Structure 1
Amino acid sequence: ADNRAVNKVLVVSVTSNRGLCGAFNTNILKQSVNLVENVYAGKEVDFVAVGKKANDYLGKRYNVIANHSGVFDDLTFDNVAAIAENLMELFTVGAYDRIDIVYNKFKNAATQIVMTEQFLPIVPLEVEETASVDYTFEPSKVEIIEQLIPKSLKTQLYKGIRDSFASEHGARMTAMHKATDNATELRDQLKLTYNKARQAAITNEILEIVGGAEALNN
């Protein structure tokens, strides 16, 4: 935990590299802008883009200090851990007072939930007070914390990016399914309109032939 005043904020916006996935990217970008204009209004806010869509949109409007779009080409824990280490370093040296992650949480193929998680400083858990008990730590408490906290932060970022990656596929599948349904409906409507017009033309031709035959008979 760190009680420093929050003046400089870094937001990690996780989008996709490609479109055709409905509101998947738009929702993340809207929340990113909301953080700048409302949540952290009056503070200095920079971005780290994870995804080409975030870099393209936010880069034109705000300061994007890093673009990690290439992580999706080889989405491994080690590659994400390197990003997390960079974020931890920026916070440790005081470049930023708070770091947030904005990503889509996977609920199911049709539903993604926009999440805004505090990455740093670490939020202390509220623990109920219990009777004082002495514990023996092996290795020491300091060693445990020095190893556990960085690993926990790396896992948090990896989980967020993985969630986003799964959500992207679900959102794209849903968007393409809806597009197919809409195209099928439009095709059926056009087919019905075409058949009606064709039938009307045939009826007119028959009427003209019958009319012409009647005229000759008379």
Structure 2
Amino acid sequence: MSQSIALLKRQIGGATDLQSVVRTMKAMAASNITQYENSVRALFDYSRTVELGLGVCIRAAKAAGVSSAALPNTGSDKAAAIVFGTDQGLVGQFNTIIADEALQTLADLPGKPILWAVGERVHSRLNDADADSVGRFNVPNTVRAIAPLVGQILIEYEARTRQNPGTQLYLFHNRPTTGSLYEPVSQRLLPLDNAWRRQRSEIAWPTKSPPEVLGNDIQTMRKLTGEYLFVSLFRACAESLASENASRLDAMQRADKNIDELLSTLNSTYHRQRQSSIDEELFDVVSGFEALGN
């Protein structure tokens, strides 16, 4: 009986320590979700400014009679894709869902795409794909680390597609949703086709004073296109990280609940066996006293 009680005490202590770790991870995940969601909201105004500038450049180029062929990123049969995943565990089907979404979409494209994976786990899933290559980037662990990562991705993309400047660029990531933890999202960033240009050119300027493009319209548009890519990749990375932490938070909440139930069972068993042990000791004392009296 004493061995059983000692074992229960060790199990209760271990479960309590584990619950402390789980709750710490819950707090960290919740804090991370907040910082990544705040970064996405903070990016909105800058993204809007870039799109307004692109709309002005497109209208100016059209007014000057510039043909679509002269505009940047007019298209190519070559395709490339960036897939945002995670380096860490405790995220359920996070990497599987986004990898399957990417592979299913890219399977319909001609030729072998160039793939870049952000995260070791999603990289391993994409390695089996029929791709030209599968590069890998490390997942950032803070908001400040997102911008350097985006810069590395853009440099790598330009280096690999220099011979095909109109390479199609696809983006895959998980995005937080209100009804569930997250959902897979796919987007074609490049080329900037006629439909994309028409949508941006129809964005109304927010003031009554019409803007002017100083200098070369095409050069300005190329610069703004680079900013558009930066904003799109930054947002995708931040949303992916928020989704990852939401998935981890959900896993930790389930673990916390399971540990609570386990501790309740262990404590109940411990108190029952402890009471039984006390009753046995009292019975032995009474029996001994009665034996001495006889």
The structure with the greater share of residues assigned to strand is 1
Partner of 1:84: 154
Query: Given the superposition, is the C-alpha separation of residues 95 and 49 from structure 1 closer, same or farther in structure 2, using an over 3 Å criterion?
Result: farther
1:69 aligns with 2:145: no
Query: Given the superposition, is the C-alpha separation of residues 66 and 191 from structure 1 closer, same or farther in structure 2, using an over 3 Å criterion?
Result: same
Structure 1 unmatched ranges of 5 or more: 199-218
Question: How far did residue 82 of structure 1 move?
Answer: 2.5
Question: How far did residue 107 of structure 1 move?
Answer: 3.2
Residues 103 and 114 of structure 1 are in contact (CA less than 8 Å); yes or no, is this contact kept in structure 2? yes
1:118 partner SS: strand
Q: Deviations over 1:58-83 (max 9, x none)?
A: 12444443111254476241331231
Distance 1:117 1:17 in 2: 22
Distance 1:31 1:118 in 2: 13
1:177 aligns with 2:246: no
TM-score (norm 1): 0.70
Distance 1:176 1:110 in 2: 16
Structure 2 unmatched ranges of 5 or more: 1-72, 205-209, 274-294
1:84 partner SS: helix
1:18 partner SS: coil
Partner of 2:184: 114
Residue in structure 2 matching 1:10, options 80, 94, 97: 80
Residues 91 and 98 of structure 1 are in contact (CA less than 8 Å); yes or no, is this contact kept in structure 2? no
Matched to 1:2, the amino acid is: T
Matched to 2:231, the amino acid is: T
TM-score (norm 2): 0.54
Residues 10 and 98 of structure 1 are in contact (CA less than 8 Å); yes or no, is this contact kept in structure 2? yes
1:101 aligns with 2:171: yes
Partner of 1:156: 232
2:113 partner SS: strand
Question: How far did residue 113 of structure 1 move?
Answer: 2.1
Residues 10 and 99 of structure 1 are in contact (CA less than 8 Å); yes or no, is this contact kept in structure 2? yes
Partner of 1:216: none
Distance 1:57 1:24 in 2: 12
Q: Deviations over 1:38-69 (max 9, x none)?
A: x33x5323310111111122124444431112
Distance 1:101 1:152 in 2: 13
Residues 21 and 176 of structure 1 are in contact (CA less than 8 Å); yes or no, is this contact kept in structure 2? no
Matched to 1:33, the amino acid is: L
Residues 102 and 186 of structure 2 are in contact (CA less than 8 Å); yes or no, is this contact kept in structure 1? no
Residue in structure 1 matching 2:103, options 12, 33, 49: 33
1:19 partner SS: coil
1:138 aligns with 2:210: no
Distance 1:12 1:95 in 2: 17
Question: How far did residue 99 of structure 1 move?
Answer: 1.6
Partner of 1:56: 124
Question: Which sits farther off after the overlay, 19-28 or 88-97?
Answer: 88-97
Residues 12 and 47 of structure 1 are in contact (CA less than 8 Å); yes or no, is this contact kept in structure 2? yes
Matched to 1:84, the amino acid is: L
Distance 2:129 2:114 in 1: 10
Distance 1:91 1:185 in 2: 55
